[in-house]
Amino acid sequence: MTTDVIAKPTPSAPRRAVKKRKPYRGKLWWRYLAAAFAVAFALAPIVYVVLAACNPAGTLSTLNFSVHDFGLDNFRFLLGKHDLSAEVTYENYPYLLWYRNSLMVSSIAAIMQVTIGTASAYAFSRIHFKGRRLSLGGLLLLQMFPQILSFIALFLIMQKIGAVFPFMGTGTWAGLVLIYLGGAMGYNTYLLKGFFDTIPRELDEAATVDGASANQIFFKIILPLATPMLAVVMLLAFIGLMNDFILASIFLTKSDQMTLAVGLRSFISGRYESSWGVFAAGALMAALPVVILFQVLQRYIVEGLSAGSVKG
């Protein structure tokens, strides 16, 4: 059975498909119906955001879109091609710069989060050490602490770190990434541990008999099998980081350092006025990287997860 896995990396899906397609064929229509309902539910608000984004005076609580007002000015503004007014200029709201910052911080932090999370998950899944269950439970409990005021403590820490290592104190990307890494041992570790548990233990046992070290097992056996699983966790981590508002808004104080979520917020945070149209356009474009990334990773995710199906 174990050798079977290595010999046959292609998942068993096609085989299954051939076997099962027939009895279900007649009943497919309701699956489509349900899918259509779900898509409508998911997309209806998005359609509205698109409408608001194409309207210069877009608000979020009216349907007052006049057709001849429609245009792409909001998008052109965000791309630095068109100033909306004397105050609302690209210079004051450098959207593309925020975009770059977000992609940079989120991808670096996501990769490192997953790296650390993977290492921890491996230990939790494969090594039987004292207090394993307890620390796993403790990890989960830690995630439940209401973090309403933790940012003050984080700020104090970052100030101290910044006093010694100025390149990673407050107001630096390195510092923000560091804070994000504090959450690496959270849900990601849990998710990965669950996945690792589905990889047959017999595989590493066989390798151990052949004289492989823990490192070798991890890098040569577990990781290749888990690459697709890492894709899922990576995607989840990336989404979480792209959408982080609170930490990024506290630790990146300069406008050319801002991330998308923080920068976008400034369009609507004025006490008396808000530019919902620009905001909506910016948010739509901010969602693009995630959707594209998912599209790219989907192949790995679906196939990858079925690789675990050889367990039985």
Partner 1 sequence: MKSKKNGFIGAALASLVIATMFGAPAAHATPTTITIWTDLNRASAFQAWARTYNRNHPLVVVNVVGKDGAKDKLATVADGDAPDLIVGAHDWIGPLKAQGMILPVTLANASQFAERDKAAFNLKGATYGVPMTVENVALFTNMNLVRKVPKTFAEFEADSKAFLKKHTKAKFALAVAPGDAYHMYPFFSGLGGYIFGGTSGNWNVHDLGIANRTFLKNAPLIDKWYAEKLINANVTGDTALAAFTSNNAPFMITGPWNLDKIRLKNINYEISSVPTIIKGIKPVPFYGVQGVMMTKWAGPGKHNIKLKVNGVLADLTTKPTQLLIANQTIRTPANLQARAKFKDVDSAAFLAAGQGAITMPQILEMGAVWTPVANAWGQVKAKKHAVDRFKAAKSTVSKAIK
Partner 2 sequence: MVGIVFRILFLGLVDSLAFWAGSHLLVSRNWLGLVWLLVATIAINYVYISKRARASKWLLPGTILLIVFQIYPILFTATAAFSNYSTAHFVSRSEAIDNLVQQNIQQVPDSPQYSIVPIHNGVTVALVVTDPTTNKVYLGTKEALKEIASPKFDANGIPQAPVGWRAYSEAELNTDTVLNNLSTLLVPMTKPEGAYLMVSDFTTAFQFASDVIYDAKKDQLIRQSDGYVFPEREGAFIDSDGTSLDPGWRVNVGFKNFKSVLTDPVVRGPFVRVLIWTFVYAGLTVLTTFVFGLTLALLLNHPGVKGRKLLRSTLIIPYAMPGFLSLLIWAGFLNDDFGVINNLFNSHIPWLTDPFWAKVSTVLVNLWLGFPYMFLICTGAIQSIPAELAEAAEVDGAKPRQILTKIKMPLLLVTVSPLLIGSFAYNFNNFGGIYLLTGGGPPVADSQIAGATDILISYTYKLAIEAGHGNDYGLACAISILIFFIVAGVSTLSFTRTRALENLS
227-286 residues in contact with partner 1 (CB under 8 A) are 250, 253-255, 265-266, 269-270, 272-274, 276
Q: Quick one: what does residue 311 bind among partner 1, partner 2, none, with the CB cut-off 5 to 8 Å set by partner type?
A: partner 2
152 counts as binding partner 1 under rule CB under 8 A: yes
Note whether 265 and 238 are within 8 A (CB): no
CB-count exposure of residue 133 (10 Å: 0-12, 13-18, 19+): exposed
Q: Which stretch binds partner 1 (CB under 8 A): 15-23, 88-96, 113-121, 216-224?
A: 88-96
Q: How far is the C-alpha of 281 from the C-alpha of 76, rounded, in Å?
A: 10
14 counts as binding partner 1 under rule CB under 8 A: no
Other beta carbons within 10 angstroms of residue 100's beta carbon come to 13
Q: Tell the smallest beta-carbon distance from residue 83 to partner 2 (Å).
A: 23
Q: Quick one: what does residue 84 bind among partner 2, partner 1, none, with the CB cut-off 5 to 8 Å set by partner type?
A: none
Closer to partner 1 at the Cβ: 94 or 200?
94
45 counts as binding partner 1 under rule CB under 8 A: no
Q: How far is the C-alpha of 274 from the C-alpha of 266, rounded, in Å?
A: 9
Q: Quick one: what does residue 65 bind among partner 1, partner 2, none, with the CB cut-off 5 to 8 Å set by partner type?
A: none
164 counts as binding partner 1 under rule CB under 8 A: no
Q: How far is the C-alpha of 241 from the C-alpha of 264, rounded, in Å?
A: 15
Note whether 301 and 6 are within 8 A (CB): no
Structure tokens at 253: 């104080």
Q: Quick one: what does residue 68 bind among partner 1, partner 2, none, with the CB cut-off 5 to 8 Å set by partner type?
A: none
77 counts as binding partner 1 under rule CB under 8 A: no
4 counts as binding partner 1 under rule CB under 8 A: no
Residue type, 238: F
b/e sequence 27-39, b meaning 16+ C-beta within 10 Å: eeeeeeeeeeeee
Q: Which residues contact 97 (CB under 8 A, 6 or more apart)?
A: 256, 258
Q: Quick one: what does residue 89 bind among partner 1, partner 2, none, with the CB cut-off 5 to 8 Å set by partner type?
A: partner 1
Which residues of the chain form contacts with partner 1 (CB under 8 A)? 57, 59-62, 64, 85-87, 89, 92-93, 151-152, 155, 158-159, 162, 169-171, 250, 253-255, 265-266, 269-270, 272-274, 276
